[in-house]
């Protein structure tokens, strides 16, 4: 990706401001605490995540074999008059690199299937935060996850996390009411790209006895030299649960509308809708759910969620990270529970297009994961996609372990 060099000195403002403020905060002479004392009182971040990912596509590409490791280190200061500073760095290496990462940092083996875990290192977070009563503000490079990450998330499944250079303000003015405003000027994506933006995000939530109502306005604007397109999304969601005798009733619904203005790019401007509904029960610790998610499309353009944690939606095989131009209708059934402390998940998806009702295939997802103790966790995961009228069959398998200290 080509970054507009005119912005290299200015578009880092939120990040550099946070780093400078963090240094000043930690060094304020009015506090008698030494650096050693501060270090003892703060929180040290030390993590290691190792993952095997194998991908088999039913095409001419060689099977992908990826063994990657991510080391993450960081430190957060103790609170000083409500202020905290945090710096976190991570680095990803490929212990086995028989895959195409789609990242400029490699590995780039175009004859193999894709695993989107590029190699390299970067500051994952560098932020200063302030908390006082009902107000919390964070400035700098940070992790942002709004609601269930369907529209704004950190793509935490990938080894290189998606973070944002942003100012975030959270308010809880009265009981059960929450408000979040975010201004971001850079998206640091999983491919090690730094994308200049001028995004405004507003999210309001209110908790009722039967569930949480959320309304949001996500106004995205690219700020690259040859791209000043906009994507505005406005939505309303409701999610809750209700006990009935020995079981719990689970329910959720959401609607959003989206308008895109593609500026001088030549792409067509469009409007699209998003509809989500889910219902189920939880009995004896097992959740049984069924739902439908529709991302609208008109044959030329479709509803999109560029900042989302997309891997968590529409199947783990990642066949629909970009919504087809005819849209996507995802009917699914899911079971989630625990046996002997092991989290078990099974999901079945049936995909059709929103326009034309074309067969887009089906998919099975399986997961078994266990938190061994406060420091260690491990798991296995599997996705099997069967193509419909178009596409190719794909099988993916993961084996992973993580240590946090």
pLDDT in tens, the chain (405 residues): 333 434 444 455 566 566 555 545 544 544 445 666 666 789 999 999 999 999 999 999 999 999 999 999 999 999 999 999 999 999 999 999 999 999 999 999 999 999 999 999 999 999 999 999 999 999 999 999 999 999 999 999 999 999 999 999 999 999 999 999 999 999 999 999 999 999 999 999 999 999 999 999 999 999 987 788 999 999 999 999 999 999 999 999 999 999 999 876 657 789 999 999 999 999 999 999 999 999 999 999 999 999 999 999 999 999 999 999 999 999 999 999 999 999 999 999 999 999 999 999 999 999 999 999 999 999 999 999 999 999 999 999 999 999 999
d(CA 85, CA 45): 13
CA distance 347 to 338: 15
Q: What one-character DSSP code corresponds to residue 267?
A: P
CA atoms within 13 A on the CB side of 247: 9
236 in a structural domain: no
What's the confidence (pLDDT) of residue 349? 98
| Owning domain of residue 133 | 1-228
Asked if the structure places residue 233 within a domain, the reply is no
Report d(CA 103, CA 106) in Å as an integer. 5
Peptide bond into 61 cis (omega under 30): no
Q: Are 199 and 186 in contact (CB under 8 A)?
A: no
Note whether 184 and 323 are same-domain residues: no
Res 374: pLDDT? 95
The answer to whether the Cα torsion of 367, 371, 372, 378 is positive or negative is positive
Q: How many domains does the chain have?
A: 2
Cα–Cα nearest to 144, from 122, 169, 173: 169
Distance from C-alpha of 316 to C-alpha of 297, rounded to nearest angstrom:
22
Torsion, Cα of 97, 101, 105, 106 (10° steps):
30
> Residue 279's closest CA among 208, 332, 330?
332
Contacts of 247 (CB under 8 A, 6+ apart): 281, 282, 283
Same domain for 70 and 157, yes or no, is yes
**Cis peptide, bond prior to residue 92, ω within 30 of zero:** no
DSSP state of 323: -
Q: Is residue 343 part of a domain?
A: yes
Does 300 share its domain with 367?
A: yes
Q: Global pTM?
A: 0.91
What confidence score (pLDDT) does residue 263 get?
73
274: three-class secondary structure by DSSP: strand
Q: Which helix (H) or strand (E) holds 178?
A: strand 177-188
Residue 239 lies in a domain: no
Residues 257 and 342 reside in one and the same domain:
yes
Q: What are the residues facing 183 on neighbouring strands?
A: 167, 200
Residues 202, 312 share a domain: no
Of 197, 228, 259, which residue sits at a domain end?
A: 228
């Amino acid at each position: 990706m080509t970054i507009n060099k005119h912005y290299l000195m200015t578009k880092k403002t939120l990040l550099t401001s946070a780093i400078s403020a963090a240094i000043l905060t930690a060094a304020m002479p009015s506090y008698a605490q030494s650096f050693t004392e501060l270090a003892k009182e703060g929180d040290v971040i030390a993590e290691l995540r190792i993952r095997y990912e194998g991908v088999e596509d039913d095409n001419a590409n060689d099977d992908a074999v990826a063994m990657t490791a991510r080391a993450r280190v960081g430190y957060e200061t103790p609170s000083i008059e409500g202020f905290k500073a945090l710096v976190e760095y991570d680095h990803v290496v490929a212990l086995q690199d028989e895959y195409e990462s789609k990242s400029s940092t490699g590995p780039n083996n175009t004859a193999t299937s894709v695993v989107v875990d590029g190699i390299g290192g970067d500051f994952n977070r560098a932020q200063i935060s302030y908390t006082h009563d009902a107000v919390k503000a964070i400035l700098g490079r940070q992790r942002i996850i709004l609601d269930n990450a369907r529209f704004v998330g950190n793509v935490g499944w990938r080894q290189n996390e998606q973070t944002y250079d942003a100012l975030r303000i959270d308010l809880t003015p009265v009981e059960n009411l929450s408000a979040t405003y975010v201004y971001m000027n850079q998206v640091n994506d999983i491919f090690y790209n730094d994308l200049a933006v001028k995004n405004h995000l507003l999210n309001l939530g209110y908790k009722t006895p039967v569930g949480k109502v959320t309304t949001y306005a996500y106004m995205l604007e690219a700020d690259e030299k040859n791209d000043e397109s906009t994507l505005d999304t406005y939505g309303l969601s409701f999610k809750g649960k209700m006990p009935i005798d020995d079981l719990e009733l689970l329910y959720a619904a959401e609607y959003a509308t989206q308008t895109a203005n593609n500026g001088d790019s030549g792409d067509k401007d469009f409007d699209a809708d998003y509809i989500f509904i889910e219902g189920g029960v939880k009995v004896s610790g097992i959740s049984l759910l069924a739902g439908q998610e529709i991302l609208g499309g008109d044959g030329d353009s479709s509803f999109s969620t560029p900042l989302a944690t997309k891997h968590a939606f529409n199947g783990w095989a990642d066949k629909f990270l970009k919504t087809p131009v005819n849209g996507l209708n995802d009917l699914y059934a899911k079971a989630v529970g625990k046996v002997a402390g092991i989290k078990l998940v099974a999901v079945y998806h049936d995909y059709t297009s929103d326009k034309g009702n074309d067969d887009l295939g089906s998919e099975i997802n399986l997961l078994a994961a266990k938190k061994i103790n406060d420091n260690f966790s491990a798991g296995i995961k599997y996705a099997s996609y069967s193509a419909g009228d178009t596409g190719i069959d794909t099988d993916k398998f993961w084996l992973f372990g993580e240590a946090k200290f």
